[in-house]
Amino acid sequence: MDARIQALWREKLEPWLAGLEADRLRFVKRRWTWTAGGIVLSLIVALVLVQQGFELPPVIMALVIGPVGGFMVGSHELGKLSKRIKAELNATIADALGLTYSASPPAPVRFREMRDYGLLPGSDRQKFEDHFAGQRDGCDFELYEAHLEQRRRSKKRTYYVTVFRGVIIRINFPRKVEGLTVITRDAGWFNGLQAFGRSFGGKKLERIGLVDPTFEKAFEVYGSDQVLARYMLTPSFMERLLALETSLAGKNVRAAFDEHSGQGELLIAAETGNLFEVGSMSKPLTDPGRFSKIVDELDHITGLVDLLIAPAQLNEHEARQGGD
């Protein structure tokens, strides 16, 4: 963390959070008061049910509903404070790093295409948050957090299950990318069924063999042009793509190079869980870990954008050398 970011914490954010500490303590106390009240009420109700001869299930339900309901009601104001602090921290840190921030953005510009290309699963319910945007090395980029759910039905009820929770990254390269190249995860023994290609968003793409067997085990690549795909997918680029999983503690990163924007465009999805949160509200607000965690996560992202762009610039240099 550089001196400028440390000064931001010391001179602005830490004093601001210290001024909210009394509110946090009051709201935490109120939450436990409501929870205790719910426990007492549930015990009374359960005792009445036993005396009235009710069977065990409604008694257990009464013992559960009281504490849970009390905790949820008592947590309302604490939750509002947490959202306020998260928005302020993220916006302030983003501004210091030359980025913009939105807590509740609309759906990403290329969301439908990312689903068509197999980077994201189909979903019936979507939530997007924590949108960061900026520029690195002449390239515009943006990041969203996405929570995607599918609707499931059983005989008794309809419910939703999470099918993706992670980050969506879009990078506009400063040079043209031709065609479409999709990087998916290795499909195991299903690869044989797809040896001659797959359809992505109505586009038939052929399978591209990777030079390095290490990445061949991790990824499946399909493209509209064999030469162009191999030109983009150097071993150094594939290493950096896998580094995204490690640095953001994610998994199943997948990507696509697309000519849609008229310039080079790289779309990435990675299952990272929920990032950019302020942590437990049971701890003092001035705990510097709240701040450093968000800074580290944003540093990882901007650093990864730098790394992902670098191979493309290197390829152009190599291409010029090859033409000499």
Listing DSSP states for 212-252 in one string gives SHHHHHHEEEEES-HHHHHHH--HHHHHHHHHHHHHTT-EE
- Tens of pLDDT, residue by residue over 221-232, are 888 888 878 777
User: Who has greater pLDDT, 301 or 108?
Assistant: 108
What are the structure tokens assigned to 204, written together?
A: 């038939």
Specify the pLDDT at position 188. Answer: 52
User: Who has greater pLDDT, 240 or 284?
Assistant: 284
DSSP state, 5?
A: H
Asked if 24 and 81 touch (Cβ cutoff 8 Å), the reply is yes
Specify the pLDDT at position 312. Answer: 47
Indicate the helix (H) or strand (E) that contains 134. Answer: strand 125-136
Characterize 129-166 residue by residue with b for buried, 16 or more Cβ atoms within 10 angstroms of its Cβ, and e for exposed. Answer: bbbbbbebeebbbbbbbbbbbeeeeeeeeeeeeebbbb
DSSP state, 272?
A: -
What are the structure tokens assigned to 27, written together?
A: 């709201």
User: Who has greater pLDDT, 315 or 297?
Assistant: 297
For 169, the 3-state DSSP assignment is strand
Exposed, middle or buried by CB within 10 Å (0-12, 13-18, 19+), for 305? buried
Specify the pLDDT at position 147. Answer: 96
What are the structure tokens assigned to 185, written together?
A: 């995860």
Using alpha carbons, list the distances in angstroms from residue 24 to 84, 85, 262, 278. Answer: 12, 11, 50, 13
Asked if 222 and 208 touch (Cβ cutoff 8 Å), the reply is yes
Asked if 253 and 269 touch (Cβ cutoff 8 Å), the reply is yes
For 101, the 3-state DSSP assignment is strand
Exposed, middle or buried by CB within 10 Å (0-12, 13-18, 19+), for 178? middle
What are the structure tokens assigned to 161, written together?
A: 């299950």
- The least confident of 10-24, 87-101, 140-154, 296-310 is 296-310
Torsion of CA 280, 281, 286, 291, to 10 degrees: 40
Specify the pLDDT at position 75. Answer: 94
- Tens of pLDDT, residue by residue over 241-287, are 777 777 766 678 888 888 765 567 889 998 888 889 998 999 999 99
Asked if 232 and 177 touch (Cβ cutoff 8 Å), the reply is yes
Contacting residues for 10 by C-beta, under 8 A, at least 6 apart = none
Mean pLDDT of the chain: 84
- Tens of pLDDT, residue by residue over 175-215, are 567 788 898 876 554 444 454 456 676 778 888 877 777 77
Exposed, middle or buried by CB within 10 Å (0-12, 13-18, 19+), for 257? buried
Contacting residues for 243 by C-beta, under 8 A, at least 6 apart = 304, 307
Asked if 222 and 182 touch (Cβ cutoff 8 Å), the reply is yes
- Tens of pLDDT, residue by residue over 304-318, are 777 777 654 444 444
User: Who has greater pLDDT, 188 or 119?
Assistant: 119
What are the structure tokens assigned to 69, written together?
A: 């309901």
User: Who has greater pLDDT, 120 or 323?
Assistant: 120
- The least confident of 86-95, 119-128, 185-194 is 185-194
Q: How confident is the model at residue 162 (pLDDT cuts 50, 70, 90)?
A: very high
Specify the pLDDT at position 189. Answer: 44
- The least confident of 25-39, 51-65, 140-154, 215-229 is 215-229
Q: How confident is the model at residue 322 (pLDDT cuts 50, 70, 90)?
A: very low
State percent of the chain over pLDDT 70: 86
Nearest alpha-carbon partner for 250 in 128, 164, 170, 191: 164
User: Who has greater pLDDT, 238 or 16?
Assistant: 16
